[in-house]
Amino acid sequence: MSGSNFRFTVWFEGRGSIKGTNEMANLSINGKAFDIDIEPDTPLLWAIRENAGLTGTKYGCGIAQCGACTVHVGGVAMRSCGITVGEASGQQITTIEGLAANGTLHKVQQAWIANDVPQCGYCQTGMIMAVARCSRTSAEPSDQDIDGGHHQYCRCGTFTAGARGNSRRRERLRGRHESACQLNRRAFVIGTAAAGAGLALALDVPFGGPTVARAADGSPEVNAWVVIRPDNSVVIRIARSEMGQGTLTGLAQLVAEELDCDWSKVVTEFPTPGQSVARKRPWGDFSTGGSHGIRGSQEYVRKGGATARVMLIQAAANEWKVPASECTAANGVIRHTPSRRTTTYGKVAEAAAKLAPPADVKLKDPKDWKIAGKPLKRLDTLDKTTGATIYGIDVKLPAC
């Protein structure tokens, strides 16, 4: 038996507590073995987040009270801040990142998405892990089952764990649970989340011009707010924080409305303040608070979408050698009415990105809105139910 492969359980059981002494622990997390150099009495939560790098499990209270850190250990929902690495060693550990199976989200995650449950989402991964255990043990959960499965604190105030006797809460939770149990296991490919990942921003000119600014995947920026990929998917940049109120989705709706793109093909990404400074602040103010996230930027983000639409139409008109005034756009498709020719945003984005932006654009009358102001599904819910959302506590600075 060599050191690194030596089962931690054997060491721990044989030697008792080895406080202050690091040992090689072998933890099985989401079906993968992790050899971790750690003290055996370290809370499992630390090993999951800091050593295994799985940040979907959250630190809340650190004293086994709030439930933010709930994982499954040996098939039982447990608060990982309240169990040691030594106690968990040798058992199968499942975190939120491992809850989906074969690319299909767990039925509780599906129900969470169907009901747009999360606000900020911080407590939600722990809550989902607790409910997932509840749904495994009972197809028809009682109030007791539900309360037992949901004894979680929500800092947004959405579900207060102290409301055990609150029947309204029980009904809401039961409703969610029942919808989870009744949902078909329809395929929900997590790849949609991957599609939004890795979209680091190019640091190039923000608007138009002969040099095309590009996203990390090489897709052209039509302007600082809009990147269009060859497959017609649209990346909309969001420069305000999403704190749970739906700011991200609301701002994306405003840009998409003026852009006249296909909403089902919209993903979002956040530029960083550093990128903003490097590009001479093309996204304006980044501050979020006092309910100003949308109110304070709605006009210029709409102009970002409208400007991109005009440039895309102009690029198509140039290709067809027709006046842009004879062309219209809807759902990401540009149409030349007299000749009935059509093309897509994805096909002309490269040419559009090289055009000078119009000096001014006319915004739509809100009475004509089809996307903005409508109760659409939130774009941030999927990541919040899979543990993919990155919070301040999850950020690792270089060399840390």
Task: Give the x/- contact pattern for ligand FES in 124-163, rule: CB under 6 A.
Answer: x-----------------------------xxx-x-----
Check residue 81 for interaction with ligand FES (CB under 6 A). Answer: yes
Q: Which is nearer to ligand FES, 54 or 66 (CB)?
A: 66
Check residue 46 for interaction with ligand FES (CB under 6 A). Answer: no
Check residue 47 for interaction with ligand FES (CB under 6 A). Answer: no
Q: What is the DSSP string of 29-46?
A: ETTEEEEEEE-TTSBHHH
98 close to 55: Cβ distance less than 8 angstroms: no
Tokens 């037992």 sit on residue: 148
Q: What is the DSSP string of 163-223?
A: -TT-HHHHHHHHHHHHHHHHS-----BTHHHHHHTT-PPP-S-SS-SSSPPB-TTSPBEEE
Per CB under 6 A, the list member of 30, 55, 95, 119 interacting with ligand FES is 119
Q: Shortest Cβ distance from residue 215 to ligand FES (Å)?
A: 30
Q: Which is nearer to ligand FES, 11 or 153 (CB)?
A: 153
**Separation of alpha carbons 30 and 35, rounded Å:** 14
The DSSP 8-state label assigned to residue 144 in this structure reads: H
Q: Which is nearer to ligand FES, 12 or 122 (CB)?
A: 122
Q: Which is nearer to ligand FES, 91 or 245 (CB)?
A: 245
Check residue 79 for interaction with ligand FES (CB under 6 A). Answer: yes
SS (H, E, C) 266-317: EEEECCCHHHHHHCCCCCCCCCCCCCCCCCCCHHHHHHHHHHHHHHHHHHHH
Q: Which is nearer to ligand FES, 119 or 249 (CB)?
A: 119
* CA–CA distances in Å: residue 364 to residues 17, 117, 355, 375: 68, 31, 22, 19
Site size for ligand FES, by CB under 6 A? 24
* CA–CA distances in Å: residue 104 to residues 99, 108, 276, 390: 9, 11, 37, 22
Query: Which residues between 324 and 383 bind ligand FES (CB under 6 A)?
Result: none
Q: Shortest Cβ distance from residue 60 to ligand FES (Å)?
A: 4
Check residue 120 for interaction with ligand FES (CB under 6 A). Answer: yes
Check residue 271 for interaction with ligand FES (CB under 6 A). Answer: no
Q: Shortest Cβ distance from residue 32 to ligand FES (Å)?
A: 22
Per CB under 6 A, the list member of 66, 132, 301, 352 interacting with ligand FES is 66
The phi, psi pair for 381, rounded to 5°, reads -70, -40
Check residue 93 for interaction with ligand FES (CB under 6 A). Answer: no
Number of C-alpha atoms within 13 angstroms, CB side, residue 46? 16
Judged by the rule CB under 6 A, the positions of this chain that interact with ligand FES are: 59-62, 64-69, 79, 81, 118-124, 154-156, 158, 244
